[in-house]
Each structure stands twice: as structure tokens, then as C-alpha cells.
Amino acid sequence: MSLVTILQHLLTGVSLGGAYALIAIGYTMVYGILRLINFAHGEIFMIAGYLMVFSMASFPWYIAIPIVLIGTVVIGVVIERVAYKPLRSAPRMSVMISAIGVSYLLQNLATYLFTGLPRGYPEIPFLKKIFQFGSLSASFVTFLTPVLTILLVILLLYIINNTKIGMAMRAVAKDYETAEIMGIQINSVVSITFAIGSLLAGVGSILYFTDRMSVNPFSGSLPGLKCFVAAVLGGIGSIPGAVVGGFILGLGETFLVALGYSTFSDAFTFGLLIVMLLVRPTGLFGEKATEKV
């Protein structure tokens, strides 16, 4: 394998990893706050894809993107209000089952509304612009994804560590009941957590689908599962962990395919999950993380 080929693979892997990382953050944040694995997160990602298809049909991209992001946030928060909030005092298992229910509901709703046929994802002109460095060639979105991911994570960490709402989130993550006694509005903190998670899923969806150009009702389920693995790999509850986990998966999958083992690219992801849970159940960053969000 020549150097150019390796660099090209590296670029693909980092770009895929960036998209994974953005979605994985949503899993890890919700888990940090509510101790809930939000199985509907992959479906929110898919719905964001459909939102883009429809909003790009009637608006230019600079209006369509905000519509998609706002729409995704609204859907994420509404799901929390309708399906998770009434179960706040119920056993954790009930909430998780409710999450699985929402996930299937969204999949089947999308199949019913948009049919099972894949829809072409609209092209955002500047994202698809192709750059060439010698024989290395990729579209702008491939370069943008990892950079944007890192920037958003830095911003997110700043919010969590330096703002009032960030402090409230950390408090709720640490001890839910005590935080409530101290006068923290649990409901608004949870809503904001879901809003941030959905927002990042929306951004991830734009980057992911721009590179892959088609959306169907099930296009959220496998990436969703993989990002959940990424979150566990990095240590669920830890944001840097989710990001690192996302990049590990993206690079690992790409290089396995590159080496000719495309059959095993999914097996790699889930094999990694099993090994991680056996060897180090808390994940790469789980143990020493003092903050849960």
C-alpha cells in the first residue's frame, strides 16, 4: 500500500470517526444525566436526514440547515417530554424499554410516511466541492467533519465546565436527588441535555449523509448502534471518551475494509464492544473521569 493510499484511507477513517463521535456524544450525555441509554438516538439522526431532504426541496441550504437543526432539537426534546419524563421515578429498565419503543415507532413511522425506498440526500454545493492534493482527492465535507467535531467538542466542554447550566448538568449527573434538593430545575437541565445531544446528532447527520447521499428509514439504526459502541468504548458518561471511541471505530472500520476484510468490518465494531466490556467495563476514560457529563 502506497503512502498516498494510506493517507486517503486515513482521511476517510477520520471523517467517518468524526461523524460517529458527534452521535456518540448524544448517547454519553443522556447516560451521564439520566443513566438512560437513549436507543432512539440513532432514529433522531435518521429523522434529521429526512428533514434535510424536505427542507432542501423548498429552501436554499443556508435556510435549510438551521431548519434541520432546530427541527431535530425540537423532536429530541419532545421525545424526552412525552416518552421519558413521565417515567422519571419509574425503574430505569422501564425508561429503557420506552426508549426502544420510541426507536421502533420512529422507524416504522418513517417507513409509513416516506416509504421504504431510499431518498436521495440533497447536495449542499460547498460541502461537496472536491479538493485535490497531488493524487489525494476528497470532498470538502471529508476535511470539515473531523475539524468541526473537535471544535464542537471544545465548545461543549467549555459550556459544561464554565457556565451556570454546565454546573447544573454536572451536579445532576453526580447526584440527581441532591441536585434537586439544592433547587436545580431537573426538567430544564434534562431538556437542555437532550437539546444538545439532538443538535449534535443533527450536525452529524448533515455531515454523514452529505458523504453518503441517501436516507432510508433504517439508515439510523446501524450507525446508532455503532455510536453506542463508541460511547461505551470511550467510557459511557465521558465526552472525550465518546469522541475518542468514535475515531477509533471510524479508523478501525476503514482500515479493515482497506485491508480486504470488509466482511468483518461490523464484526470488528461489536467484537471490540465485547472485549472492552470483559476487560475494562468502564471504558477507556470511564474510571478516572471525575465528571460524568
Partner 1 sequence: MKKIISLFLLMVVFTAMLTSVAFAADEEITIGVFEPFTGENGGGGFQEVLGVRYANEIYPTIEVGGTTYKINLFEVDNKSDKTEAVTAAQSLVSKGVVAVVGSYGSGVSIAAGEIFAEAQIPAMGASCTNPQVTFGNDYYFRVAFLDPFQGTVMANYAIQNGATKAAVITQLGDDYSSGLGSFFVTAFTKLAGEGAVVAQEQFQTNQTDFKAILTNIKALEPDVIFAPSSIVTAPLLIKQARELGITATIMGGDTWENVTIIENAGADSEGVVLSTFFDEAEPATAEAESFVTGFKEYLVANNQPDVIPAVSALGYDAYLAVLTAIKNADSVDPNAIRDALVTTEFDGVTGHISFDENGDADKNMAFIKVVEGGQFKFLQTVTIAE
Interface positions with partner 1 (CB under 8 A): 1-2, 4-5, 8-9, 12, 16, 111, 115-118, 120, 123, 130, 132, 135, 137-139, 211-214, 216, 218-219, 222, 254-255, 257-258, 260, 262-263, 265-266
- In whole angstroms, the minimum distance from the beta carbon of 98 to partner 1 comes to 25
Closer CB to partner 1, 242 or 256, in the complex: 256
Report, in Å, the least distance between residue 183 CB and partner 1: 45
* CA–CA–CA angle 220, 226, 227 (5° rounding): 85
**Per-residue burial over 99-109, b = 16 or more CB atoms within 10 Å of its CB, e = otherwise:** beebbeebbee
C-beta closer to partner 1: residue 115 or 161: 115
Nearer to partner 1, 109 or 213 (CB): 213
Cβ(73)–Cβ(202) under 8 Å? Answer: yes
Smallest gap from Cβ 237 to partner 1, in A, equals 29
The answer to whether residues 139 and 129 touch, using CB atoms and an 8 Å cutoff, is yes
Contact, 229 vs 48, CB < 8 A?
Answer: no
Find the shortest distance in angstroms from Cβ 83 to partner 1.
26
Q: Bridge-partner residues for 137, per DSSP?
A: 132
CB of 189 to partner 1, least distance (A): 36
Q: Give dist(CA 103, CA 218) in Å, integer.
A: 10
HSE-CB of 82 using CA atoms within 13 angstroms = 9
Nearest to 146 by CA among 5, 252, 17, 27: 17
Closer to partner 1 by CB, 176 or 218: give it.
218
226 or 292, CB closer to partner 1?
226
Instruction: Give the residues across from 130 on adjacent strands.
Output: 139
Pick between residue 31 and residue 121 the one whose CB is nearest to partner 1.
Answer: 121
Mark 8-22 as b/e (b = at least 16 C-beta within 10 Å).
bbebbbbbbbbbbbb
Query: What minimum distance in Å lies between the beta carbon of 4 and partner 1?
Result: 8
